[in-house]
Structure 1
């Protein structure tokens, strides 16, 4: 008899067992689909001002055979939650995944969440068991994204040819920093962050715009510093001193071989100056200077975002998976 229990992320033994299930369940995927243990050990128990995290375990006797994760936003989108379920590969097709998903939905509903979102990963252009499971659980595809991976060796080979193309227009300048935004750009940075939900293609995902005050940005930065994550950031500063665009690559103290693109956005009023490419080059150069042992970087973009996909492909990114953004209204 498999029991579903909530686990305390500060219980390191239970957290390690939970992590091992997720690691085994995602091992078939390409790239780096699961964080290193030291990353999870540090990040999951740490206070998070942006979201509440609930961990579930499916336990058979003394063995953990399934793991669940529920993430609830705490600043906006109070009607939503994101749910993930993982089953140990040797224990699939026993109903454990279904039970985990249903329990995650119960917890979300009890917190007043009415829209549950999740993800399924497929080979490029293919299908898989995750998609069939999502359909069986009544989740619909709200958006499709391409997950891309960049080999650093490919980036180095392409970089010189892209530099001239990426030269910012007269009057713009690119600045960079590690995680903590300079005080004189903080308010303008928050204004740009507030545009994300309206400017990034979301498909049918039921998400609302956010407001990023200086205090909120500083709290988010403090968490990143606290868990050992470096957000290597580039900003385009317009002639009037405002933040015209921003991009970042994130890398953890515990893993200097793999990075992940966080956000890239250019203010619509400042598009047409190749700022996106300039920002991307600046962040990749910054993270490589700080972490010369970097091997790869991954990112994801909506398939309909042809401009950003073209920029990433020019840098050397190649599609390794298709991501289905899933949604279900309770």
Structure 2
């Protein structure tokens, strides 16, 4: 087994890496759609704003049996690298993951990163089974998660969405935020990152402006994403005070992913979060008639948003634990 840095221009290596991701997803998350081939192929051509990505592949002959890709922020969180590490189900417990992690530590140090952040999945009590090898690997070495999120799933029915309360109106759009409200949307995005629970993780707030929102949209479109958003406008001021978004990756049609949901603090307590999410489910279903389920991830201690989701019919599926590992492990 050899580990080599990925050349993104190597289409064969990119294809073998994609095959690995599909095999691992089918084993680890069988209720998920397969990773988007379009998303995978475009990941280096359309990078996320203010992030650079590198990857290493573990080869057994001409087969990719493990991969480690890591994103490095260039604006905030300059001490962190965000890692996705995958080993083929048939090659696990052979030291491949450990070898890749050691290479990532070395690369992170070269880039002056002191932390590597990685997420692992676990089963919930009484829930569907999950391969918890990643979680056990880290906890057996003394690491503890800095935050845990619960993934919940909603079966989408054909019901109508809620209407805005008195004094508010709903605004809906696909993909790109309308120019006339982009400043408000950027402010809400920044607010989300200020308010969102981060547990014991070391996290710096990301600041969004119109240019950063547009750059993120360009990446999403380049990678083949589709997104549906609903916002609440405060009629007296014209300000956008709540927003939610559901996204689809590549050719996915039956499966949506819940993204941002945020309400401006001065307008909380009126059910706007529930209203915009309900309306957005109906909006997405009207434009994506094959839609059947939406998955949402919420911090375990974000009891308010989890309660909102429960009202919409979301049921817990599994848990996702985030670890921050020092790049000079003792």
Q: Say if 1:41 and 1:321 are closer, same or farther in 2 by CA, change over 3 A.
A: same
Q: Does the aligned pair in 1 maintain the 2:151–2:298 contact within 8 Å?
A: yes
Which of 227, 232, 245 aligns to 1:231? It is: 227
Alignment partners' CA distance in 2, 1:75 and 1:185: 24
Return 5+ residue gaps in structure 1 as ranges. Answer: none
Q: Is 2:87 the partner of 1:87?
A: yes
Q: Does the aligned pair in 1 maintain the 2:38–2:223 contact within 8 Å?
A: no
Q: What is aligned with 1:311?
A: 308
Q: Is 2:278 the partner of 1:266?
A: no
Task: Measure how far apart 1:244 and its partner are.
Answer: 0.7
Q: What is aligned with 2:5?
A: 6
Q: Say if 1:248 and 1:281 are closer, same or farther in 2 by CA, change over 3 A.
A: same
Q: Does the aligned pair in 2 maintain the 1:31–1:149 contact within 8 Å?
A: no
TM-score by length of 2: 0.91
Q: Does the aligned pair in 2 maintain the 1:31–1:320 contact within 8 Å?
A: no
Q: Does the aligned pair in 2 maintain the 1:25–1:89 contact within 8 Å?
A: yes
Task: Measure how far apart 1:227 and its partner are.
Answer: 2.1
Q: Say if 1:232 and 1:50 are closer, same or farther in 2 by CA, change over 3 A.
A: farther
Task: Measure how far apart 1:31 and its partner are.
Answer: 2.4
Q: Does the aligned pair in 2 maintain the 1:50–1:220 contact within 8 Å?
A: no
Describe how 1:1-330 pairs up with structure 2 within 5 A: 2-28=1-27, 29-32=29-32, 34-125=34-125, 128-136=132-140, 139-152=143-156, 155-156=157-158, 159=159, 166-238=162-234, 239-330=236-327
Alignment partners' CA distance in 1, 2:224 and 2:85: 26
Q: Does the aligned pair in 1 maintain the 2:115–2:326 contact within 8 Å?
A: yes
Q: Say if 1:102 and 1:136 are closer, same or farther in 2 by CA, change over 3 A.
A: farther
Alignment partners' CA distance in 2, 1:269 and 1:55: 43
TM-score by length of 1: 0.91
Return 5+ residue gaps in structure 2 as ranges. Answer: none
Alignment partners' CA distance in 2, 1:310 and 1:258: 22
Task: Measure how far apart 1:206 and its partner are.
Answer: 1.0
SS in 1 for 2:296: strand
Alignment partners' CA distance in 2, 1:183 and 1:60: 50
Task: Measure how far apart 1:118 and its partner are.
Answer: 0.7
Q: Say if 1:50 and 1:287 are closer, same or farther in 2 by CA, change over 3 A.
A: farther
Q: Does the aligned pair in 1 maintain the 2:25–2:32 contact within 8 Å?
A: no
Q: Say if 1:50 and 1:283 are closer, same or farther in 2 by CA, change over 3 A.
A: farther
Q: Does the aligned pair in 2 maintain the 1:120–1:134 contact within 8 Å?
A: no
Q: Does the aligned pair in 1 maintain the 2:151–2:319 contact within 8 Å?
A: yes
Q: Does the aligned pair in 2 maintain the 1:249–1:260 contact within 8 Å?
A: yes
The superposition leaves residues 290-317 of structure 1 with CA deviations (integer Å, 9 ceiling, x where unpaired) of 1101122111001111111111122121
